[in-house]
Amino acid sequence: MIMLPDGAQDRLLANAQRIVDACSSIGVQQWDLVGFQSYGHELDIEAGKITMAGGGGEGGFGIRVVEDGRFGFAHLVDVSGAERAVQQALSIARKSPSIANFVLPSEQAATKVGGMCDTNILNLGPEDLLEQADALLSAVKSADERAIVTGGGVGVSATASCLLNSEGILESGLTTSHGLGVQVTIDNDGKMTSSYQGDSSRTKMVDVPDCVELAVDWAVRTQHPIEVEPGASDAPVLMTSEGFSPLFSMVVPPAMMGEKLVRKESFWTGKMNQNVMSEDLSIVDNGLLEGGFSSGSRDGEGVPKRKQSLVESGRLVNMLWSTRDAAQQVAEGRIDVAQSTGSAVSRGHQSPPSTGASELMMTSAKGSQTFDQMLEQMGDGYVVNSVMGAHTANPTSGDFSVTTSSILRVVGGEIIGPLKQAGLSGNLAKALAGNVVLGDDVRRQGSYSSGSMHLPDVLLMEGLRVNPA
């Protein structure tokens, strides 16, 4: 295996044991730790050429200690500093407020999740990435002679990981990933249009993925802007999966976290078992999704993951909890009973686990429509493929105001041309509670908050306002 050194996982576990031994020597009774070691190859593309290739490894450990309901966290790379890190975590714990009844989870049987490691990726070297990059560049040129890949790249990685705690949990494994992204630009008489698209998989991507052609397509679609009447107006908006996902991830996953719901920091606070979305819409968090980027047997605290409904037929039916957050909110009297839903997220070794989603999926009982069918249903409105400023959306209220230069005007169900730029604003909670139509092509997207999202194109008929620049 070219990428992953022999014995990488065994060494990771051996080094983790040194931290466990440090906990024992210092007298720490309750602890959990995570360890990661990643290896990979990558190359960058700029101005239509491969500009840089690199590779290597990185990783480390995070140790959390719990004493009398108090916790402290420290991270380290070199396990020769294990005792110092454990002492640091212990010192922080002793200065922290106590959370009544906060104890680390015990060992429970967990479902094994497949599709997380592809040995074909382990055998990929830099020369394989060069071949794929060449194929990517050729595919862009074939799609449109004027198109240039002005940014992007290709990369593969393999990660050995482990999770252990004082209560008997021990989980370790290997994961792989193969990803690429392209920024495609077209210069038409000095007027430039561009589009970014990307894709990634736990398994080896054999062919040039569809996202490459999609990037070219949107760079072409947004040429030759049309003149439109200035002024903001309410209008239906068909948001592609790529345009919708940044806003969705900023607003919807946080709204379903138990801590935010009981602290009144969610626009769905006080609405458990009430309608919060259109009655045909449902949201599921599938922590057991085969090959998922955020799925797995256990969460960041070692609790078995699960597939759970969060919104059913428009009703909010569940919320997400980590062990720590559940104990804290019960201790503070904000909720009578709460327990982990297997929703603790570990974002690496440098921070303690927190609550988050795994693999969110939104479906509609009305079924799905093709892109053209959604255009026809829209009548007059807009198509938006990307937005800028989604991170400024308010997760407490659902309000947002973003800009886009990847927007098309639709009249009578037909696309008549692109706008140079426009503002897009509204309240996503209200828009999702109105008339919503889902497309038939579901694509995996990353998230600003946590986990992955599996979203189609989404037609929002109400609640949005467009202001052409």
Write down the pLDDT at residue 341: 98
Q: How many domains does the chain have?
A: 2
Partners of residue 445 on adjacent β-strands: 453
Look up the CATH number of the domain holding residue 175: 3.30.2290.10
Q: What are the start-end ranges of the E strands in 305-380?
A: 307-312, 315-316, 344-345, 354-355, 359-364, 368-369
Question: Does 305 share its domain with 443?
Answer: yes
Identity (one letter) of the amino acid at 204?
K
Q: What residue has token string 């714990």?
A: 93
Q: Per-residue pLDDT averaged across 162-183, rounded?
A: 97
Pairing of strands 452-455, 359-364: parallel
Question: Does 108 share its domain with 253?
Answer: no
pTM: 0.95
Question: Does 154 share its domain with 303?
Answer: no
Domain around 297: 233-468
- Per residue in 183-241, pLDDT (tens digit) is 999 998 888 999 999 999 999 998 899 999 999 999 999 999 999 888 999 999 999 99
Q: What residue has token string 């906060």?
A: 102
- Per residue in 25-43, pLDDT (tens digit) is 999 999 999 999 999 999 9
Query: What are 113-116's contacts with CB under 8 Å, separation 24+?
Result: 113/288, 113/289, 113/290, 113/292, 113/295, 113/296, 113/297, 113/305, 114/290, 114/291, 115/202, 115/203, 115/290, 115/291, 115/292, 116/173, 116/174, 116/175, 116/176, 116/202, 116/291, 116/296
Q: Per-residue pLDDT averaged across 402-428, rounded?
A: 97
In a domain, 227, yes or no: no
Question: Does 47 share its domain with 78?
Answer: yes
Question: Does 258 share its domain with 212?
Answer: no
Residue finishing a domain among 191, 221, 251: 221
How many Å separate Cα 124 from the centre of its chain?
Answer: 25
- Per residue in 239-281, pLDDT (tens digit) is 999 999 999 999 999 999 999 999 999 999 999 999 999 999 9
Interacting residues of 55 by C-beta distance below 8 A, sequence separation 6+: 39, 40, 41, 42, 126
Question: Does 211 share its domain with 252?
Answer: no
Write down the pLDDT at residue 212: 95
Question: Does 194 share its domain with 310?
Answer: no
Proportion of the chain above pLDDT 70, given as a percent: 100
Write down the pLDDT at residue 191: 85
- Per residue in 33-78, pLDDT (tens digit) is 999 999 999 999 999 999 888 888 899 999 999 999 999 999 999 9
Question: Does 63 share its domain with 200?
Answer: yes
In a domain, 226, yes or no: no
Q: What are the start-end ranges of the E strands in 21-69?
A: 30-46, 49-67
Pairing of strands 381-388, 237-239: parallel
CB atoms within 10 A of CB 174: 16
Question: Does 294 share its domain with 434?
Answer: yes
Q: Per-residue pLDDT averaged across 82-107, rounded?
A: 97
Residue finishing a domain among 221, 249, 265: 221
Beta carbons of 302 and 105 less than 8 angstroms apart = yes
Write down the pLDDT at residue 188: 82
Question: Does 23 share its domain with 126?
Answer: yes
Question: Does 206 share its domain with 259?
Answer: no
In a domain, 3, yes or no: no
Write down the pLDDT at residue 55: 82
Partners of residue 399 on adjacent β-strands: 427
In a domain, 366, yes or no: yes
- Per residue in 125-156, pLDDT (tens digit) is 889 999 999 999 999 999 999 999 999 999 99
In a domain, 333, yes or no: yes
Mean pLDDT of the chain: 95
Residue finishing a domain among 168, 194, 221: 221
Residue 129 CA to residue 125 CA, distance in Å, equals 7
Question: Does 186 share its domain with 264?
Answer: no
Residue 2 has pLDDT above 90, yes or no: no
